[in-house]
Amino acid sequence: VAQPKPKVLFVLGGPGAGKGTQCAKIVEEFSDWAHISAGDCLRAERQDPNSKDGELIEQIIKEGKIVPVAITVKLLQKAMVASKKSCFLIDGFPRNLDNVTGWKENVGELGAQVCGVLYYEAKEDELEKRLLSRGETSGRSDDNIDSIRKRFKTYISETMPIIDEYKAKNLVYTVDGMPPADEVWKVTQGIVRQVEA
Ligand code: UP5
Ligand code: MG
């Protein structure tokens, strides 16, 4: 019997919009789904002393720029296989045109069906506040005001146009990311139910 094609939801939104927080809640409630954070994959690879890409990844993350897709997509695929799940939340990817092309070439429509984009919308001043406060304990090398501003810039110039492209294809589920996380969760939950159905 043929296996059903894996489902994918891309999860996008500005830095600190709540992508990771909401994905964690989704996988708690919906057992078919795996949470694959591109940023987490890259940070783990950076920590691996055997990786030849570690230094490059660190430099790019600090500058709020985007890692070449060949590196990212390889890590995403590895994590997807390791999860043994059939539905994937791909958190923080694709962030630019290079990412979209690299996904299509390496995973593509044969590998997985992209059901849509879960998009968390929030204002920059709120995001800055969240990230600075997280930065007190996160240990993330990009949770400082310099890197945060650079991340915003990249988000506006490179990621927003990608979200707009998916919007034009009617593939975007826009969620207001400004209310408290529990309220955002109620909306998120409804969308995942709809995607699963
Ligand atoms: N928080 C969450 N929800 C809240 C709410 N509703 N109200 C109040 N507070 C809320 O949340 C951030 C903080 O806000 C937390 O303290 C949380 O408690 C609180 P989180 O859920 O972590 O938000 P998230 O959107 O996941 O923020 P994150 O910082 O992870 O977003 P980024 O997109 O900046 O980070 P990511 O890890 O995806 O990428 C980091 C870097 O890696 C990129 O800048 C880039 O350099 C690189 N990268 C690539 O190059 N390619 C990729 O494909 C992916 C990443
Ligand atoms: Mg995150």
As a whole number, the mean pLDDT across the chain is 96
Residues 110-126 have a mean pLDDT of 93
Stated length of the chain = 197
Q: Taking 80 as the threshold, does the pLDDT of residue 3 lie above it?
A: no
Q: What is the pLDDT, as a whole number, of residue 34?
A: 98
Q: For residue 111, what pLDDT band results from cuts at 50, 70 and 90?
A: confident
Ion ligand 2 nearby residues (CB, 5 A): 19-20
Is 1 strand, coil or helix? coil
Cα separation, 40 vs 15, whole angstroms? 13
Q: Taking 70 as the threshold, does the pLDDT of residue 187 lie above it?
A: yes
Q: What is the pLDDT, as a whole number, of residue 197?
A: 86
Cβ of 11 below 6 Å from ligand 1: no
**What is the Å distance from ligand 1's center to 4 Cα?**
31
Q: What is the pLDDT, as a whole number, of residue 50?
A: 95
Q: For residue 108, what pLDDT band results from cuts at 50, 70 and 90?
A: confident
- Name, in order, each residue with C-beta under 8 angstroms of 93's C-beta and a sequence gap of 6 or more: 10, 38, 72, 76, 99, 103
CA of 154, closest atom in ligand 1 = 44
CA distances from 57 to 12, 94, 115, 156 (A): 20, 16, 29, 21
Q: For residue 4, what pLDDT band results from cuts at 50, 70 and 90?
A: confident
Q: For residue 80, what pLDDT band results from cuts at 50, 70 and 90?
A: very high
Residues 37-63 have a mean pLDDT of 97
**What is the Å distance from ligand 1's center to 2 Cα?**
36
Q: What is the pLDDT, as a whole number, of residue 33?
A: 97
Cβ of 166 below 6 Å from ligand 1: no
- Greater confidence (35 vs 1) lies with 35
Q: Taking 80 as the threshold, does the pLDDT of residue 28 lie above it?
A: yes
Q: For residue 46, what pLDDT band results from cuts at 50, 70 and 90?
A: very high
Minimal-distance CA residue to ligand 1 atom 8 = 180
